[in-house]
Every structure is written in structure tokens, then in C-alpha cells.
Amino acid sequence: MNLKYDIISSGSSGNSSVFRLGKKCIFVDMGLPLNQIMPYIAETIDNSNLPHIDIDEIILFITHEHNDHIAGMKPFLSRYSPKIYASTKTVERLIKNGFDEDLFYKLEPDVEVTFNDFSAKPFRIKHDAVEPFGYRFKFDEVDITYLTDVGVISDYVHKSVEDTEIIILESNYDPELLKNSRYPNFLKTRIASSFGHLSNQEAHNLICKLSISKLKEAVLVHVSENCNDYNLVQKYAESCLNNFNVATTVVKQKEKYSII
């Protein structure tokens, strides 16, 4: 199987990543301008020797409706007309915001959707959005979980991801740096709440728990540039490797990173 997975960008400035599988482009979120997305589709076309990629070959999964995850959707839809998958309430919110209802496929939590050469299973997460999802993707060669913008790792979330091989996981903030940041108190409270984001320690704890099963690799993303420090996150990543034998990488905002 010719599978590539690239994180194009992850953070408050915009989120999007893409699986490139043969002639397919499978995106997770579209919070970036079109000119940052087009090269990945162009490369897929070149590698598959196709003159074009049609609607059946481009798929978009949306985690939730916050602007840094959907800001680039309208120009992307105008050019490529992909199939779009999201939770029922997320779809309803996007329709209210002017998107065409016919573009969407509504997903139910814990119900796996199977395609010809991969499957996707959404699961509920806590975040201050209408119905946010994490996603578990399965290909012949690998099992990858995408889990960002999640305020707490509940028993349910842990069970949803417990035997994944690769996890894309947010490591958003350090509590002390958040406390001393210039953010207003309401925003500090929101970030640290169970409907906000994961701290470095919380991400580290999850990797520890998953390491006793099949987890081989973790990629730490959605790192705050105001309430975190890349050197600090790197220390947590090194701990994951040294203590749990999980190869762990830190991805900076606006930084492209190839996982496969």
C-alpha cells in the first residue's frame, strides 16, 4: 500500500492534515488557505499518473466547527467538491453558516465507516464545540488515531484509542505558563477546563497508558505558542521514548511533518 500521511499545520493559526493513499486524498480538517493545500493534491496526481482527481477521490473529515479547523473550507469546496464527513450537530452548524447540505455525510459516534481501502471510526471528545469528534483510521498497514482539541481523557476516550499504533495527540499547554500568560482569566479557565485542551502532562500520561498495548509512535501537535514551550514539550517527548519506548515527535505550529 502506498500510504503517506502529512501534517500540514496544527495550532491556533490553522489545522489540516492529509492521508495520500494511491489516488485518494483524505483530509482531516480544513483550516488553511487553498494555496497550502493544493501542493498535496498536485503531488498525488503526479504520483498516480492521473490527469485529475474527481469528487470520489477527495474526502474531508471535520473534527469540529471552530474557525482554525474550517476557515479554508469554502475555497477548498469551490475547487474540489469533496465528500465531507462530520458529526450530525457539526454538519447542522456548518449548514447554518452557509454550507450546502448536500455536501455532507453525517457520522454517528462509534460507528465505523468503511471505504474500499480504509475505514474511519469517530468517537466523542469533550471540547467547547457542538459535537466534536476524534477519529480512528485503519489502513492495511497501520492504525492511526487523530486526537486534538480534547479537554480531558475520559475512560471512554481511552478505550476508543487504547490499541492504536500511531497517535496524533495535542500537547497544548503548560499549567504554569498558562497561569502566567497574558490571556484573560476566562480564556485561561476555558483552556484548562475539561472542555478545553490537554496539558503536556496529560498527553504524557495518555502515551504512558497506551504504551502497554500497541502504541509505537506519538506525534505531539497543537502546541500553544503563548502558553507552552517547545523545549519543554521536547522533554516530555524524550521521556515517552526513554521510559515507554514510544518514538515521540513534537510538531511546531505552521510546520509540515510527514509521519509515513
Contact 124, 159 (CB under 8 A): no
- Is residue 2 in a domain? yes
103 and 3 assigned to the same domain: yes
Residue 249 phi, psi (nearest 5)? -120, 145
Give the model's confidence band at 81: pLDDT under 50 very low, under 70 low, under 90 confident, else very high: confident
pLDDT tens-digit series, residues 29-48: 999 999 999 988 888 776 66
Last residue of a domain, one of 86, 110, 134: 110
- Is residue 135 in a domain? no
- Is residue 144 in a domain? no
155 and 243 assigned to the same domain: yes
155 and 102 assigned to the same domain: no
Q: Going by C-beta distance under 8 Å and a sequence separation of 6 or more, which residues neighbour residue 236?
A: 171, 200, 201, 203, 204, 220, 248
4 and 88 assigned to the same domain: yes
- Is residue 61 in a domain? yes
Residues in the chain: 260
Strands of the chain (E only): list them: 3-9, 16-21, 24-28, 58-61, 83-87, 104-107, 113-114, 119-124, 133-138, 143-147, 166-170, 217-221, 247-250, 257-258
- Which contiguous run of DSSP H or E holds residue 75? helix 73-80
Last residue of a domain, one of 56, 88, 110: 110
Give the per-residue pLDDT at 50.
Answer: 52
105 and 159 assigned to the same domain: no
- % the chain with pLDDT above 70: 95
48 and 102 assigned to the same domain: yes
Domain region containing 45: 1-110
155 and 211 assigned to the same domain: yes
What does the alpha-carbon distance between residue 66 and residue 62 come to, in Å, rounded to a whole number? 10
- Is residue 197 in a domain? yes
98 and 174 assigned to the same domain: no
Q: Going by C-beta distance under 8 Å and a sequence separation of 6 or more, which residues neighbour residue 95?
A: 101, 104
30 and 103 assigned to the same domain: yes
CATH number for position 248:
3.60.15.10
2 and 84 assigned to the same domain: yes
Domain count of the fold of the chain: 2
Residue 192 pLDDT exceeds 70: yes
CA 210 to chain centre: 18
What is the reported pTM? 0.94
Residue 94 pLDDT exceeds 60: yes
pLDDT tens-digit series, residues 60-71: 999 999 999 999
3 and 66 assigned to the same domain: yes
Residue 51 pLDDT exceeds 70: no
Strands of 127-246 (E only): list them: 133-138, 143-147, 166-170, 217-221
- Is residue 194 in a domain? yes
18 and 85 assigned to the same domain: yes
Of 86, 91, 129, whose CA–CA distance to 109 is shortest?
A: 86
Q: What amino acid is encoded at 123 in this protein?
A: F
